[in-house]
Structure 1
Amino acid sequence: MEDKKELTKDLLTTSFKELIMQIPFEKITIKMITDGAGVIRPTFYKHFQDKYEILEWILKKELADKIQILIDNDMEEDIFRLLCNCLEKDKELYKKLYAIEGPNSFDELMHHFIFNMLTSLKNKYPLKSSGELEIFPSEVMLRFYTFGLTGSLKHWIVHDSSYSAEQVCDAYNYIIHNSILELIDLPDSKS
């Protein structure tokens, strides 16, 4: 029974993806989605409350579930690479999803997903102790990284960047291991 439920959700999601590639999100109707999936309208509401919930399903199935496997297997070093590869694989789809505006937008969902993922990593592993870090709540640090990651990923997808997922991962690794002050050529301080 659970397999049939998931199959139906996947059919509806596939129909939605085909539609979003052709027409703007706000013009997609539930009837259009169900017609494309070959099901009746009440079937949609057995699986999703609205078309925004399909965005949550896409994020869960295509990104979150895959990343959770890495976390469960202590392979956290590969999370960002997998995330970039998944986004690159369906770059045109994600570009359309990022164009959706409003409080239930894909951008908002991605922000919550990344924040929750970073929070679970912080809870799984202790923070390195540092006197300087103790003056800031860990939530401040998590929000800083969340805004940086979500903004960078969105910019990469939306602005037709020619960088590959591999190049984005390499840049990310370089940036998180170097402060901005190490990256710029500051003039020598004069006493």
Structure 2
Amino acid sequence: MWDNQHIAEKGCLFLKKDLRVQKTLNAIDNAIITLLEQKPFESITIQDISSEAMINRGTFYTYYKDKYELIESYQNSMMTDIEQLLYKNITGSSLKDVDESDLNNTILKMFQYLKDNRKRVLVIANSLGSAELAKYFSQHMFDFYKVKSREFGVELDSEIFTDYLITYITNAHIGIILKWVKGGFEESIEEMAMFIEKFTINGVFKTVGI
């Protein structure tokens, strides 16, 4: 049996290890961000990342199989955060049950999240290219809208019509976001939320009677 002192000492060791891991991951993050300002993603090697992060190659491989897995971890983490934000805040048995101010605040939070994490967003955009990034996000957002259309009991002319409508809305939203990203996040999050609201919520949704 460990006494309280041993437990406390063990806890401190775990904490120190966690801090070292986080420090290493942050160093890798900063390294890839710095390197992408100097050269294209395809030209960056693991040695480049390791040298910039001031770690050895073995340490890098402890956390990532290659540089593509590093980018994939960024994608998955960011998409998980965004999906949780959307699923948590957009609820109800129908779209009409969703409070307009709550919906607007959710959109604002999404744009704020992207702006707060703009360095990682740019890393993903610069490494994958706009087309691949759009494809990745489109699939996830399509799935989200599909789930929500069923939860809200959206009944349109046909399943095919619904799928095309969701595809249209998804690509419109992704296009707006990518233009904002490529433009250096110049417009305010309030302006971006207004664009989404006018183009889709007050536009397409009302046109088809949702």
Q: What is the TM-score of this pair, normalised by structure 1?
A: 0.70
Are the equivalent residues in 1 in contact too, given 2:28–2:50 (CA < 8 A)?
A: yes
> SS in structure 1 opposite 2:58?
helix
Rounded to whole Å, the distance in 2 between the matches of 1:30 and 1:93 is 18
Rounded to whole Å, the distance in 1 between the matches of 2:165 and 2:63 is 36
Rounded to whole Å, the distance in 1 between the matches of 2:147 and 2:205 is 27
Residue identity matched to 2:25: K
Q: 1:105 to 1:9 in 2, by over 3 A?
A: farther
Deviation at 1:41, TM superposition (A): 1.0
Matched, 1:84 2:111: yes
Residue identity matched to 1:155: K
Q: 1:79 to 1:6 in 2, by over 3 A?
A: farther
- Report the RMSD for the aligned CA atoms in angstroms: 3.4
Residues 44-77 of structure 1, C-alpha deviation per residue, up to 9 Å, x if partnerless?
223223222222222334x3343244246x2133
Deviation at 1:30, TM superposition (A): 0.9
Are the equivalent residues in 1 in contact too, given 2:124–2:133 (CA < 8 A)?
A: no
Deviation at 1:136, TM superposition (A): 1.5
Deviation at 1:169, TM superposition (A): 0.8
Rounded to whole Å, the distance in 2 between the matches of 1:45 and 1:23 is 22
- Aligned residue in 2 for 1:39: 55
Q: 1:66 to 1:122 in 2, by over 3 A?
A: same
> SS in structure 2 opposite 1:178?
helix
Map 1:1-191 onto structure 2 (within 5 A). 3=18, 7-61=23-77, 63-71=78-86, 74-76=88-90, 77=103, 78-89=105-116, 91=118, 94-95=121-122, 97-100=124-127, 104-105=128-129, 107-109=131-133, 111-120=135-144, 122-123=146-147, 126-132=151-157, 134-136=158-160, 138-160=162-184, 162-176=186-200, 177-179=202-204
- What are structure 2's unaligned runs of at least 5 residues? 1-13, 91-102
Residues 1-50 of structure 1, C-alpha deviation per residue, up to 9 Å, x if partnerless?
79465554333222111221233222221111111222211222232232
- What are structure 1's unaligned runs of at least 5 residues? 183-191
Q: 1:14 to 1:96 in 2, by over 3 A?
A: closer
Larger Rg: 2
Structure 1 runs of 4+ off > 6 angstroms?
none
Aligned length: 176
Are the equivalent residues in 2 in contact too, given 1:67–1:83 (CA < 8 A)?
A: yes
Instruction: Judging by fraction of residues, say which structure has more helix.
Output: 2
